[in-house]
Structure 1
């Protein structure tokens, strides 16, 4: 059996993409989320890979709203990523993404900044993602 993704993890709680190429999302870091167990023992933090996944899920929801249900978004390139401060249980992460169409067919560049509720920058990244529509057309 082959799956494109593992069991879904809720890496965003809400997404607002009404501003066209600007995406705003929120993720509450909850202590009993399964991916926090053991990361790290005695100092539980939200894993960096899930910060990337939070941005990815926000872009997937934006793409579905823009292109319709069945649209998929494939992460193709992590151009840059940096984590500046830990996200701890009880924190709320705000994600701001700016989306730019690239010359490559169906590819967008996303520049994201992730902040804790106290305003501290938790991470920033630049990703490239390919958008696949359900009707077989790739379109960014």
Structure 2
């Protein structure tokens, strides 16, 4: 299990764009993380006043961050960053509200060189909130994100 400090040693994201609070498990080509959705999230001010819903693109980003931890924790990719290269077959099934807890899953489907494809899923409880195929490219970043 990784907490937010350990996650920040692997990926460069920081508040308010770090969208993974904890990695619960990493096994083989799959990782599971958690995002606690708080009413204090800055995006709720404008999305939408009086009816706050977590933006779908941020749910996708949270899934991608779990996938980035899965890949970038490997020693050979230390200092790299993962950039979105595309998304396919994306579906939003359930709105995500303040107080919800997202369980985020990322499973690597293909990986060749510095290009990868992962299947991402986000659940609230047992209910699927979103899913999609996420494509990414690894690029050299900095040696360490820890500050």
TM-score between the two structures when normalised by the length of structure 1: 0.82
Question: Would the alpha carbon gap of residues 29 and 60 (structure 1) be closer, same or farther in structure 2, given more than 3 Å must change?
Answer: same
Tell me what 1:138 maps to.
Answer: none
Q: SS of the counterpart of 1:57?
A: helix
Of 58, 71, 79, 2:88 maps to: 79
Are residue 123 (structure 1) and residue 130 (structure 2) matched? yes
Deviation at 1:22, TM superposition (A): 0.3
Relative to total residues, which structure has the larger strand share, 1 or 2?
A: 2
Q: SS of the counterpart of 1:94?
A: strand
Number of equivalenced pairs: 130
- Alpha-carbon RMSD across the aligned residues, in angstroms, is 2.3
Tell me what 1:24 maps to.
Answer: 32
Q: Quick check: 18-27 or 61-70, which moved more?
A: 61-70
Q: Take 1:21 and 1:6, find their aligned partners in 2: how far apart are those partners?
A: 25
Q: Which runs of 5+ in 1 are unaligned?
A: 136-140
Question: Would the alpha carbon gap of residues 42 and 123 (structure 1) be closer, same or farther in structure 2, given more than 3 Å must change?
Answer: same
Are residue 99 (structure 1) and residue 111 (structure 2) matched? no
TM-score between the two structures when normalised by the length of structure 2: 0.78
Deviation at 1:8, TM superposition (A): 5.1
Q: Is the 8 A contact 1:29 1:89 kept in 2?
A: yes
After superposition, the C-alpha distances for 1:3-29 in whole angstroms (9 at most, x for unaligned) are: xx8975121111245312101011010
Tell me what 2:74 maps to.
Answer: 66
Question: Would the alpha carbon gap of residues 8 and 29 (structure 1) be closer, same or farther in structure 2, given more than 3 Å must change?
Answer: closer
Q: Is the 8 A contact 2:85 2:135 kept in 1?
A: yes
Q: Is the 8 A contact 2:63 2:121 kept in 1?
A: no
